[in-house]
């Protein structure tokens, strides 16, 4: 797939509405329910090869490591990794997956969206997103979480469809330049762009021909990339400071505003942009505080005006 302007990016949708999100989750759950009915026990035998040999890794690379699979699905993607210290799968539908057989798995399932994962900074040695990046609700927030959660020196493994045609279950669109969104915190170690085959993303990543960028036809492709997390002291410090400021605003922690502020810090890759992000964050914080204060003053005036007509509960 190539873009109309030949820039390498055809379209980027970074978020979905609440209604779209509900439709997406219902569609995902219906798909997995039908797969569980058809297979009896959901299969997972192919995962080990994609986590290891496909990215030039071995089982030993997972020994005593903390591993996170974002958008894990119900198959038990990390069941093979018995040598890992910790193996966690995060998915908004994780609680539903327990009813499909996931309760019998040894890996841990956590019900959470990719945009807000409940673990501390830099906890994981290997973070993975297989066939899930275009399924998220907010692309920028998801990548921000990947940066936050991966330890310096740790790996990020990504297999994803690349397309410009949103669907109810794949609402986020991006082109091959998606890899640039992972900089500067992630450096590319390997990259493969493949044509999409009929058997899906996994078969395409493993067996597909290299994507012909000279062919202007609109079509799906599959990107397979291995990144390493590098230290970016100034950006990481700004990210932490902005997130802490956001958390001080009543009702702001974990909200879209907080993620926006964190994103501003993470996307800054030069001193000037870092200063701009900090200034923007400060303006937003001051504006929010004024609104909170105005609301509080208004409530106080209403209570005073009512006098003794209403007893406070």
Per the domain annotation, does 60 fall within a domain? yes
Are 91 and 110 within one domain?
Answer: yes
Given 174, 198, 231, the domain boundary residue is: 231
Are 141 and 282 within one domain?
Answer: no
257-272 core/surface letters (b: 16 or more CB in 10 A; e: else): bbbbbbbbbbbbeeee
Check residues 244 and 59 and name the one with the higher pLDDT: 59
- Quote the number of domains for the chain: 2
Given 231, 261, 296, the domain boundary residue is: 231
Are 37 and 136 within one domain?
Answer: yes
Are 87 and 175 within one domain?
Answer: yes
DSSP secondary structure code for residue 31 in this structure: H
d(CA 132, CA 139): 11
Q: For the chain, give the mean pLDDT.
A: 81
Given 187, 210, 231, the domain boundary residue is: 231
Average pLDDT over residues 66-83: 98
pLDDT band at 22 (very low <50, low <70, confident <90, very high): confident
The phi, psi pair for 23, rounded to 5°, reads: -65, -40
CA dihedral 273, 277, 283, 287 (to 10 degrees): 150
* pTM value > 0.75: no
Structure tokens at 175: 């082109």
Render 192-251 in DSSP notation, one character per residue.
Answer: EEEEPPTT-HHHHHHHPPBP-TT------EEEEEEEEE---HHHHHHHHHHHHHHHTSTT
Per the domain annotation, does 7 fall within a domain? no
Domain extent, residue 258, equals 234-306
Share of the chain above pLDDT 70, in %: 68
Are 137 and 245 within one domain?
Answer: no
Per the domain annotation, does 120 fall within a domain? yes
- pLDDT one-digit tens code per residue, 229-261: 999 876 666 666 655 655 565 555 444 444 544
């Amino acid at each position: 797939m190539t873009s109309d302007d030949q820039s390498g990016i055809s379209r980027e949708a970074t978020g979905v509405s609440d209604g779209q999100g509900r439709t997406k989750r219902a569609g995902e759950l219906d798909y997995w329910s039908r797969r569980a009915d058809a297979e009896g026990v959901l299969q997972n035998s192919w995962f080990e090869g994609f986590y290891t040999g496909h990215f030039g890794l071995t089982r030993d690379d997972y020994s005593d490591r903390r591993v996170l699979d974002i958008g894990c699905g119900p198959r038990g993607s990390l069941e093979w990794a018995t040598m890992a210290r910790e193996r966690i799968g995060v998915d908004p539908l994780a609680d539903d997956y327990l009813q499909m057989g996931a309760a019998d798995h040894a890996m841990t399932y956590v019900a959470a969206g990719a945009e807000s994962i409940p673990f501390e900074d830099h906890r994981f040695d290997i973070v993975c997103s297989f066939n899930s990046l275009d399924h998220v609700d907010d692309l920028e927030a998801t990548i921000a979480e990947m940066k936050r959660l991966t330890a310096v020196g740790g790996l990020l493994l990504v297999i994803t469809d690349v397309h410009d045609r949103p669907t109810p279950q794949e609402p986020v669109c991006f082109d091959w330049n998606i890899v640039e969104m992972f900089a500067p915190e992630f450096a590319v170690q390997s990259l493969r762009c493949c044509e999409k085959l009929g058997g899906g993303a996994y078969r395409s990543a493993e067996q597909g021909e290299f994507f012909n960028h000279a062919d202007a036809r609109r079509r799906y492709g599959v990107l397979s990339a291995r990144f390493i997390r590098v230290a970016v002291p100034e950006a990481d410090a700004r990210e932490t400071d902005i997130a802490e400021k956001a958390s001080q605003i009543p009702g702001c922690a974990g909200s879209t505003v907080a993620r926006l502020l964190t994103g501003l810090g993470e996307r800054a890759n030069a001193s000037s942009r870092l200063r701009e992000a900090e200034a923007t964050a400060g303006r937003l914080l001051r504006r929010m505080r004024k609104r909170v204060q105005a609301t509080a003053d208004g409530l106080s005036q209403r209570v005073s005006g009512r006098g003794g007509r209403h007893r406070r509960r």
